[in-house]
Amino acid sequence: MRDADVRNALHALLRVEHEHEWTTTRIFNELSLCGEVRVDVAVLNGRLAGYELKSARDTLKRLPTQVSVYSRVLDEATLVVAERHFPRALAMVPEWWGVVVAWTDGDGLRLEHMRAALHNPTVDTDSVVRLLWRDEVLDELVRRGLGRGARSKTRSVLARSLVAALSGDEVRAIVRDRMKQRGTWRAAPSPRRDDGTFPVSATRSDFLH
């Protein structure tokens, strides 16, 4: 079981789960969070959800750091983990994290929901705002009449000004909107086949909720 196998199965699942809101959903691969880690797959619509993948070939060495950063930034987080890692990995993630187990049988790789993701109670607005590019932060300040003297400031200074002026919910909404406006930047392709069907691992009956 390779990372690419798990990633492909996850993309297929996400495409099915978000089929009815696909036009307003963006999926990103390897999205940088706070310049510290990259979330393997991020889903952006009315919330920012992230998926960390641990295939059978991976180790759990970096998971504590990833949990720490994801828990500051994401609205929801889910660990997609190979069956052999499941018992140990389950004890390493907070209770609000979702958990999906990847396993193989005669039909190939399957994903099984073991625990649904809940809303993150530990979102840190100062960390979330770091997802914005400098020009985006500056533009948001200018729109609100807060741009005086701001053009010479660093992104960090500008971000602090934006956070001070708005509520956490407002900042998170701005981040989601700005990321959606970035064209095809880091967007993942749809796993839909040319004939309009999906890989076998994407059928709803294959996943237990």
Domain 3-122: which CATH number of 1.10.3470, 3.40.1350, 3.40.190, 3.30.70: 3.40.1350
User: Residue ranges of the alpha helices (H) in 56-112?
Assistant: 63-73, 86-90
- More confident of the two residues 101 and 17: 101
Mean pLDDT rounded to a whole number for the chain: 85
Record the tokens describing residue 6, joined without a space: 């798990």
Chain-centre distance for alpha carbon 128: 12
In the predicted model, is pLDDT for residue 162 greater than 50?
yes
The pLDDT assigned to 24 comes to: 84
- More confident of the two residues 173 and 21: 173
Name the DSSP class of 163. Answer: H
Q: What is the pLDDT of residues 17-74, one digit of tens each?
A: 888 888 888 999 999 998 889 999 999 988 999 999 998 889 999 999 999 999 999 9
Q: Answer for the pair 79, 99: CB distance below 8 angstroms, yes or no.
A: yes
Q: Is 205 helix (H, G, I), strand (E, B) or coil?
A: helix
Every domain of the chain with CATH number 3.40.1350 lies at: 3-122
The pLDDT assigned to 18 comes to: 87
